Chain A
């Protein structure tokens, strides 16, 4: 298994443009998470899904951000319009919904977004 796959790995865009980040979770995992990593704030949970349904989107910064999971093998995070303060590394992670000793989140390589 290639693990969690994210694309693109790097994205440079101009302020005001729409940005779409993509994620393919590990096959069989029923939870999917989107995180944002910045120097100032560390790793922040934006939203997560269980069986393709959004469970908690309280971390989504504002209406410019939206996320979808149309099926078990694909999710997108969209920013429209993008702003320079959105520049960060965005991670996708997936997990099995078990707790205790079996619980672990598996992270993708991240997408480094730069908004100029």
Chain B
């Protein structure tokens, strides 16, 4: 069965410090992976997807198939990064069904 694990419910770092939100998945095939973000009083929205190999708002995430991980990283945290982050997996052949992790709340201290 597919599963997405985010081991940290809460991550608190100082402004300017590096950030890494951990995500591990279990899936035997080739998944598509995403990070979604929910800022305070805003809708849950797509942050980035591994297939695009993009950097959004300074965040990057690399798919490591050997470690089955898709950690989200940013070298210098900003206060506006405080939000709830969800890692998500879609099977390569799925009909659009996404499995979400339990989420990590990122808090940036000034």
> What is A's interface to B at a CB cutoff of 8 Å?
3, 31, 33, 35, 41-45, 48, 50, 55-56, 91, 93, 95, 97, 99-101, 103-110
User: Which of B11-19, B72-80, B92-100 interfaces with chain A?
Assistant: B92-100
Show 16 A/B contacts (Cβ-Cβ < 8 Å), sorted by A. A31-B95, A31-B96, A33-B98, A45-B98, A56-B97, A91-B44, A93-B44, A100-B51, A101-B49, A101-B52, A103-B49, A105-B98, A107-B43, A107-B45, A108-B43, A109-B43
Q: Are A97 and B95 in contact (CB under 8 A)?
A: yes
Q: Are B101 and A100 in contact (CB under 8 A)?
A: no
Known contacts being A100-B32, A100-B51, A103-B90, is A45 close to B97, with CB within 8 Å? yes
Most-contacted residue by chain A among B43, B46, B49, B51 (CB, 10 A):
B43
Q: Counting CB contacts under 8 A, is B86 at the interface? A: yes
A-B pair count, CB < 8 Å, reads 60
Q: Are A42 and B103 in contact (CB under 8 A)?
A: yes
* A56 contacts across to B, CB distance below 8 A: 97
14 A-B pairs besides A43-B100, A95-B96, A101-B52 with CB distance below 8 A are A42-B6, A42-B102, A45-B97, A45-B99, A48-B97, A91-B44, A93-B44, A97-B96, A99-B96, A100-B51, A105-B96, A106-B45, A108-B43, A110-B43
